[in-house]
């Protein structure tokens, strides 16, 4: 039990989280400077680091489970070697044992810990809620309104009641923004929408109404017209 890999895994996770922050800062700078051709390798690196972090966290959980099982086994083997019969517990000891069991049970079913890893959806899980939010908001909406609506929907689905100042929401918001970048690459959202505004494309509507069976049928005409930068035809210019 001396060779505990947990400290090494913790160091690796911390280093990779710092890499993620550096990549994220570089991506924001590239977006602000309109160097969009550099976003794809940055996104790929960001997702690869995130996969490694998840794998290290999984290894930590596996080691913890293994260490607990081994400790229980060694303890049971040690106790089996004892030949003396244990005295029967007194009434007071039974009462204390029951009290500890009740406290342990209440602690394990106390509604969950805010910000736990199981409460943080993956990046792809935000995509359909983003499309639904934009559809409800008329097809085009400010970024903050879309993010707020997506968070409220995901909170309701997962039964989360944590306050708006919780650290978990900052993680959610960052994943929603990266989900939006991936959706732009897939053609579901407009790349050249006004700054601070998100706008759904026709492909995005097809994705929404093709996979979200709970949504109503798509309207015959889009609610928001996309202004084209192409020059008008001769017939349109001279009616």
How far apart are the two ends of the chain, measured CA to CA in Å?
86
**7-56 pLDDT per residue, tens:** 777 888 888 888 888 888 888 888 888 887 888 888 888 888 888 888 88
Provide the pLDDT for residue 77: 75
Query: From the CB of residue 149, how many other CB atoms can be counted at a distance below 10 Å?
Result: 18
Q: What are phi and psi of 219, to 5 degrees?
A: -70, 155
Three-state DSSP class for residue 143: helix
Does 197 fall in a domain? Answer: yes
Provide the pLDDT for residue 216: 45
Q: Measuring CA to CA, which residue among 27, 56, 21 is closest to residue 39?
A: 27
- Do residues 134 and 199 touch, judged by C-beta distance below 8 A? yes
Distances (CA, A) of 208 to 129, 133, 186, 196, 222: 9, 11, 13, 22, 14
Q: What is the CATH number of the domain that holds 188?
A: 1.10.10.2260
Domain shared by 136 and 207, yes or no: yes
Question: Which residue ranges of the chain lie beneath pLDDT 50?
Answer: 1, 105-116, 213-239
Does 5 fall in a domain? Answer: yes
Domain shared by 125 and 55, yes or no: no
- Name residue 189's beta-bridge partners: 200
DSSP secondary structure code for residue 190 in this structure: -
Burial class (CB in 10 A: 0-12, 13-18, 19+), 25: exposed
Does 103 fall in a domain? Answer: no
Domain shared by 198 and 135, yes or no: yes
Domain shared by 145 and 61, yes or no: no
| Residue 45 domain boundaries | 1-78
Q: Measuring CA to CA, which residue among 226, 181, 172 is closest to residue 202?
A: 226
- Name residue 141's beta-bridge partners: 198
**179-199 pLDDT per residue, tens:** 999 999 999 999 998 999 999
Domain shared by 126 and 205, yes or no: yes
Helix (H) or strand (E) holding 136: helix 127-136
What is the tally of structural domains in the chain?
2
């Amino acid at each position: 039990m001396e060779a505990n890999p947990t400290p090494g895994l913790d160091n690796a996770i911390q280093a990779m989280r710092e890499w993620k922050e550096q990549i994220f800062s570089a991506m924001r700078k590239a977006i602000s400077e309109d160097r969009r051709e550099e976003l794809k390798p940055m996104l790929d690196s960001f997702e690869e680091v995130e996969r490694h972090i998840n794998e290290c966290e999984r290894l930590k959980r596996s080691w913890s489970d293994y260490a607990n099982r081994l400790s229980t086994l060694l303890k049971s083997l040690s106790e089996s070697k004892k030949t003396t019969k244990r005295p029967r517990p007194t009434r007071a000891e039974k009462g204390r044992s029951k009290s500890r069991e009740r406290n342990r049970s209440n602690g394990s079913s106390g509604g969950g810990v805010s910000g736990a890893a199981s409460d943080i959806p993956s990046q792809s899980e935000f995509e359909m809620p983003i499309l639904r939010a934009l559809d409800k908001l008329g097809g085009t909406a400010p970024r903050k309104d879309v993010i707020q609506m997506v968070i409220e929907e995901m909170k309701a689905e997962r039964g989360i009641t944590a306050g708006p100042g919780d650290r978990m929401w900052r993680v959610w918001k960052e994943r929603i923004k990266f989900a939006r970048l991936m959706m732009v690459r897939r053609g579901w959202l407009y790349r050249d929408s006004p700054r601070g505004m998100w706008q759904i494309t026709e492909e995005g509507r097809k994705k929404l109404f093709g996979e979200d069976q709970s949504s109503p049928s798509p309207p015959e005409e889009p609610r928001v017209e996309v202004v084209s930068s192409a020059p008008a035809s001769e017939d349109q210019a001279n009616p």
